[in-house]
Every structure is written in C-alpha cells, then in structure tokens.
Amino acid sequence: MSVFRRIFKVGEAKMNKIVDGIEKPELMLDQAIRDKEKQISDVKKSVMSVIATERQTKAMLDNEKAEQKNWERKAEAALKAGKEDLAVKALNRASEHESKAKSLQATWQSQRANVDQLKQEIVKIENELSEFRRNKDFIIAQAKTAEVKKQIYEAKAKIKNDKSADDLMARMKAKAERASVEADAAQEMADVVGGDSLEKEFEGLGTTTASADVQAKLAAMKSKIG
C-alpha cells in the first residue's frame, strides 16, 4: 500500500468514527467529503512534483544521448580528416555522455514506474470518493433509521421498567372497591341497629300489601282460630 493510499485510509477511518456518533449525519458526511477532496488535491500536488522531477530526468537523459551522438559524429569527422588523436578525444567525450545516459536511464525508468503507480492510486481514490458521494444519502438514511430504532427501544425499556403508573391505578382501584364494600357494610349495620325494632316491624305491617289469594287464606285462618 502506497503512502497516499495509507493517508486516504486514515481519513476514511476517521470519517467512519464520526458517523458512529453524529447527530446531523448529512452535515458531517458533507464535511467528510470535503476533507477527502482536500486529501486528493494534496496527493495530486505531490504527484505533480514527482512528475516534474521525472520529466527533468528524461530531458537530461535525452540531452546526454544527443551529446553522445554529437561527439561520435565529431570523432568520425576527425578520423576522416586524418586527425586520429582528435577523434580519440571526441570518442572519450562521447563515452562520458554514454555513461551518464545509462545512469540516467535507470533513474528515469524508476521514476516513470512510480509516476504510473501514483496515477493509478489517484484514480482508485477518486473512484472511491465518487462511490462515497453516491452512497451518501443511503448512509444518512441508515444513520437516521438506527437512531429511530434506538429511541423506540429506549422508550419500550422505559415503559417496561416504569411501573409507577400501573401501581397507582391498582391502588386506586383497590381503594375504590374497599370504599364500596365499607359503604355496604355501613348500610347493613344501620338496618340492624338503627331505631326501635318493634316499631320497624309494625311499620312493615302497615305497609305490607297482600294479593286477593293471600287475603282469602288469611280470612280462612282467622275463622279457624276464632
């Protein structure tokens, strides 16, 4: 994993940690996207610097190769002119440029490979950011759904654990039932002990009514006794 990839992963981990405890997910996710965009921008600047160095190396390589060919042509011209010593000097100079070109060739190839790899890393990061943008609304909905579920479960637990209202209703019902029983008992006691019992009996006789059949039976009973 490249250094740029690790930087991006650290930012992603921080974002995930933020999402776990956010109250306004849409605001925090927007901020996370801005942070990622800045990370990518910083990475691109670093890659641009590497690319600039690679191009400078390539230019130096091309120059050394050109100088090598130039001195080889001069050596050939000197040899044709019968100046062998001068041709040897020109070939020595060409060899110097050839040696530098070989060293620069290895350096440039390594830099070119690094640039290509870094470009691929940037493309991956940008693709992941694009996917994150597409999934932002879904993540927000998930966070809100989880929060609603949490509130529902907390409310259910509170209702289940809080029995004070039920206990109060039970006590009030028992008290009302007791009061009704006590009222019936008081009425019964009033009927038993209240006033002259004999008077009550005569009051009952005075208010008693009988049907024709009962009156006939009563008259027969009186005639028999009397």
Asked if 36 contacts 52 with a C-beta cutoff of 8 angstroms, the reply is no
Q: What is the mean pLDDT of residues 201-222?
A: 67
* pLDDT score at 4: 45
Q: What is the pLDDT of residues 123-175, one digit of tens each?
A: 888 888 888 888 887 877 777 787 778 778 777 777 666 666 667 777 778 88
Q: What is the pLDDT of residues 57-104, one digit of tens each?
A: 999 999 999 999 999 999 999 999 999 999 999 999 999 999 999 999
* pLDDT score at 23: 57
The secondary element (H helix, E strand) that includes residue 78 is helix 25-80
* pLDDT score at 7: 45
Helices marked H in 81-209: 84-161, 164-193, 197-207
* pLDDT score at 3: 44
* pLDDT score at 13: 52
Q: What is the pLDDT of residues 20-69, one digit of tens each?
A: 555 577 788 788 888 888 888 888 888 899 999 999 999 999 999 999 99
Q: Mean pLDDT lowest for which of 63-77, 114-128, 198-212?
A: 198-212
SS3 (DSSP) at 203: helix
Assessment of whether the complete model's pTM goes beyond 0.85: no
* pLDDT score at 158: 72
* pLDDT score at 211: 75
Q: Quick one: 4 exposed, middle or buried, by C-beta within 10 A (0-12, 13-18, 19+)?
A: buried
Residue 209 DSSP one-character state: -
Q: Residue 17 — very low, low, confident or very high, per pLDDT cuts 50/70/90?
A: low
Q: Residue 203 — very low, low, confident or very high, per pLDDT cuts 50/70/90?
A: low
Asked if 76 contacts 8 with a C-beta cutoff of 8 angstroms, the reply is no
